[in-house]
Amino acid sequence: MPKARQPETISRLPPYPKIVILLSERMSPLQFAPFSSAVDSGFWYQLTQKKLDVFKLDDGPVDMSGFYSTSSAPGLPPVFHVDYSALESSGSRGSVCCVSGTLLNTNTLEDFKRKDKRMLLQENAQQKIWAAIEDGRALQDPSLLQHCLFLTFADLKKYHYYYWMAFPALTFPKDVICEKEQKLTDCFSQEKLERLEQSLASLDPCDRGAFLVGDQGCHPLRERDSLKGKILLGFTDPSGFAKHPGWPLRNLLAFAAHQWGGNSWEVVCFRGKAENSLLLSLRTEGEPTVNGVCPEAVGWEMSKGKLVPKKVDMSESMDPHKLACNAVDLNLKLMRWRLSPGLELERIKDTKCLLFGAGTLGCNVARCLMGWGVRHLTLLDNSKVSYSNPVRQSLFTFEDCKKGGVHKATAAAQHLREVFPGVEATGKVLSVPMPGHAVPESMWPQVKNDVAELEELVSSHDVLFLLMDTRESRWLPSLLAAHHNKLVLNAALGFDTFLVMRHGMRKEREDETPHLGCYFCNDVVAPGNSSADRTLDQQCTVTRPGLSYVGAAMAVELLVSLLQHPLRGLAPASKVGECGEGELGLVPHQVRGHLHNFSNSILASQGFDRCTTCSQRVLECYRREGSDFLLRVFNDPDHLEKATGLSELLVGLKDDEIIALSDEDSC
């Protein structure tokens, strides 16, 4: 079989030496300029987002769209564009021709390689193009004569994309001969050219890709029977080659041969302007016949003269911050796709967390929250980083200790942003007033300002984590949380034990029905100054180094389990042996862990009606008196026992009637 002659126009263009593909495997005098795809970087970003949010692990066909237009410069191949909107919707883009398409995104590179490309192309041509020709839909909507097939594999961890574009074209009729090529300006009068351009612009967008040309201008294909005089086929030609029409003419000829028969056609190749357009006289040897089977299709795009896919590396051109956000989201979404389909990740992501304490527990809790995708974190602490901190507190370095140390809250927030730029981390250097820590009268204005700022922070966040060293430092945040009915997670460390608990929430603030207790509900004495006369070992948090990681992780996991429970913070305390109603299982009230025997105990307790923090008596005093009530508590912790009635309860109580539990006692 003789070798096909390459067109002279193309042979003079080194970048496109083999751009022309024959209509079929047989020799054909008419050669077409196939599409060369141009895929914008925006499409890959949108594909990444759709894969994460919508497509998940589904590798089924997805609707997409692309477009082509007339060539802007002579000698350039037809270009088919796929941009950022390809996965949204298809439609008119003014002077361009939109083409619907099918995206097949495989989940593995092996699947991408194993796909039977020939079968995919033939099936796509049969289902999308030939079926529309046979049942007449293409007559009503000529845009159905063009379709694209996009086979991809998206490596979402490395942002490498493998793709292969196909433009199915039917090899029917088999042999098409171009008898004559003319410039349109040599054949049409100026008046007729003007009518052609004006009438084409007025056509419906779906009719602009393929149309009829009569004496009065352009008409939709479906009006052929009503037209008189000489009728020509016309199409929007994306080719820039002088003698070679663009790829869309293939399927238009297949449609005309099937719909109207005949063995000769005159075709107007409209290229944006009349002076660039062509008139071709085409014929076939004999009458084309159809045997009811879809003709063979060709159309896989060539790369450097070979039928091979292409690869794009977007890792360096995409915004690193967006890459980091996508990577974090991907890890969590893989968890939902594979293991927990009901996991509501957006609820976790949108939760605003306020961390009281940016030390050993605070650093680890913040890191774990980021691992779950929490984006909004505020850390509150007034101490500075010391030389003993970095080895135990995971957000600090040796540099943070120099020159007296930087404030923990601001340093922790800065390092969180360095770890993950997508997090909104804020550090607040603020003191928390405490019962038993007297406030001189000269400091009252400052303390009132601090309380007002604390209340604003509590009201603007969804969850509070209490991660401080002393018992009394947890009192005011617990009171403010109860006042605003916020969810509280409390974590405390002993030498080899930890306590993680959630404070009970009420359906209504004034509701007196039983609820789970808070950190202070099991106490019969008010919190006081526990730091007075402390020895060195009592001034420092002396714990086994791994304990803070366990306690911090337990606190965060308890929060996430609560967020996935139907009742959220109102969920009842789960018991050992229960399955749990939440997506992630149990939601206990308290977890006490023991490293000395590597065991955990799940506990629960009801709220105490004389609690010094969350009881209605205390909350009512705060609502009524505000900061004045707080100042009395700070200067006189016994005031809480009087306000709640604990002092009356303790009158006449014998020592052997009080049970004292320490962290070392078994439960």
State CA 126 to chain mean position distance: 35
Angstrom CA distances, 449 to 332, 405, 465, 632, stand at 40, 26, 22, 16
Angstrom CA distances, 183 to 33, 188, 476, stand at 18, 9, 87
Residue 660 class from Cβ within 10 Å (0-12 exposed, 13-18 middle, 19+ buried)?
exposed
Instruction: Output the pLDDT for position 105.
Output: 94
Residue 573 class from Cβ within 10 Å (0-12 exposed, 13-18 middle, 19+ buried)?
buried
Is the distance from CB of 239 to CB of 78 less than 8 angstroms? Answer: yes
Q: Which residues contact 579 (CB under 8 A, 6 or more apart)?
A: 585
**Average pLDDT over every residue of 290-304:** 87
Q: Is the dihedral of CA 123, 129, 133, 138 positive or negative?
A: positive
Report the run of H or E that residue 360 belongs to, with start and end.
helix 360-371
**How many other C-beta atoms are found inside a 10 Å radius of the C-beta of residue 24?**
16
What are the tens digits of pLDDT across the range 597-620?
999 999 999 999 889 999 999 999
Confidence band, pLDDT 50/70/90 cuts, at residue 175: confident
Active centre residues (catalytic): 540
For 467-585, strand residue ranges (E) read 487-493, 497-502
What whole-number distance in Å separates Cα of residue 339 and Cα of residue 75?
A: 54
DSSP secondary structure code for residue 474 in this structure: G
What are the tens digits of pLDDT across the range 185-229?
998 999 999 999 899 989 988 898 999 999 889 999 999 989 888
What whole-number distance in Å separates Cα of residue 506 and Cα of residue 512?
A: 8
DSSP secondary structure code for residue 355 in this structure: E
Does pLDDT of 168 surpass 90? yes
45 phi/psi in degrees, rounded to 5: -65, -45
What whole-number distance in Å separates Cα of residue 585 and Cα of residue 58?
A: 27
255: closest CA among 141, 104, 336, 395? 141
> Any alpha helices (H) in 162-248, and if so which ranges?
184-187, 190-202
Angstrom CA distances, 650 to 394, 514, 610, stand at 44, 23, 12
What whole-number distance in Å separates Cα of residue 530 and Cα of residue 614?
A: 21
Length in residues, the chain: 667
- Between 656 and 109, the more confident residue is 109
What whole-number distance in Å separates Cα of residue 454 and Cα of residue 469?
A: 18
For 397-480, strand residue ranges (E) read 424-428, 463-466
Tokens 């008898």 correspond to what residue?
A: 179
What are the tens digits of pLDDT across the range 352-374?
999 999 999 999 999 999 999 99
Query: What letter represents residue 596's amino acid?
Result: H
7 phi/psi in degrees, rounded to 5: -60, 145
Per mean pLDDT, which range of 173-177, 237-241, 423-427 is the poorest?
173-177
What whole-number distance in Å separates Cα of residue 500 and Cα of residue 278?
A: 80
What are the tens digits of pLDDT across the range 528-551?
777 655 544 444 567 899 999 999
> Any alpha helices (H) in 542-666, and if so which ranges?
547-563, 616-625, 627-635, 638-644, 646-650
**Average pLDDT over every residue of 237-246:** 88
Confidence band, pLDDT 50/70/90 cuts, at residue 75: confident
Q: Is the dihedral of CA 322, 427, 466, 665 positive or negative?
A: positive
For the record, the structure tokens of 622 come out as 């705060």
- Between 504 and 656, the more confident residue is 504
Instruction: Output the pLDDT for position 70.
Output: 86
What whole-number distance in Å separates Cα of residue 494 and Cα of residue 538?
A: 11
Instruction: Output the pLDDT for position 19.
Output: 29
Query: Does the predicted TM-score (pTM) go above 0.75?
Result: no
What whole-number distance in Å separates Cα of residue 339 and Cα of residue 56?
A: 13
344: closest CA among 119, 566, 655? 566
Q: What is the dihedral of CA 209, 214, 220, 222, to 10 degrees?
A: -130
